[in-house]
A = this chain, B = another copy of it.
């Protein structure tokens, strides 16, 4: 999805929120914002919002010297989710359809996102995830794909959400490689965040390469490039991965909350809903 005029408002809001968290003063904020405007001005017409956000976040990291801007928030998100883990695990175990429940919970976990929500109600989202119909594709398509796959490449999104992904991975019962960011990038899950959520106990951890928002080939490690090229079955979490992987030529199951009008328009699904989207190329 290429960047729409409205996206710049969102990108600026994200940059501003990150600058606030670094604790620098207003004059320094303005100075760095001007470099952010330079990135906006120079952005290629076909660039995705994720590609622009990546450059913006690198500027903020470089110029403030604060690399892991969302560290505290990510740790809190993970702890909050881990407290729910036993209860959610039980929900899946007693479910008539554990895969369906685990998929829904993994999508529910995508609500953990300070970038798009100032405030969210995780428990309410879990309840909603269990009860409401899933938008997009049928869970049966995923079930069928899982039957014939020997391995899953799972593309992580935010820290905290990782705990919900762990529950899904435990339910899949086939080997999973869990791809996280190679370093801090907004509130995206890193190796440490995945470990803190216990994902390392149930999946092989890899990084996609250099830190970036979404799945951007410019930042891929050689290892991840090969993993992606040879993936039998891809499960991708969140909007940024959806936006960016959609540009590439891969079949995948996307599990996400529809948080933005352009993703809603692009997917044909309503704003604010939880979606399982099976893209076949």
Contact = CB atoms under 8 A, between A and B. Distances in A.
Interface of A: 3-6, 8-9, 12-13, 16, 19, 26-27, 29-30, 33-35, 37-38, 40-41, 43, 45
Contact of A5 (B30, B38, B40): B30
A264 to B, nearest CB: 16
A35 B5 CA distance: 13
Contacts of A30: 3-5, 45
Nearest to A3: B30
Chain A at the B interface: mostly helix, strand, loop or mixed? helix
A75 to B, nearest CB: 27
A44 to B, nearest CB: 11
Contacts of A41: 34-35, 37-38, 41
B26 A4 contact: yes
B5 A19 contact: yes
A38 B43 CA distance: 12
Contact of A9 (B12, B27, B40): B12
A151 to B, nearest CB: 40
Given A4-B30, A8-B16, A9-B13, 7 more contacts: A3-B30, A9-B9, A9-B12, A37-B37, A37-B40, A37-B41, A38-B41
A29 B34 CA distance: 20
Contacts of A26: 4-5
A4 B9 CA distance: 16
Nearest to A41: B37
Given A27-B45, A38-B41, A41-B41, A33 B12 contact: no
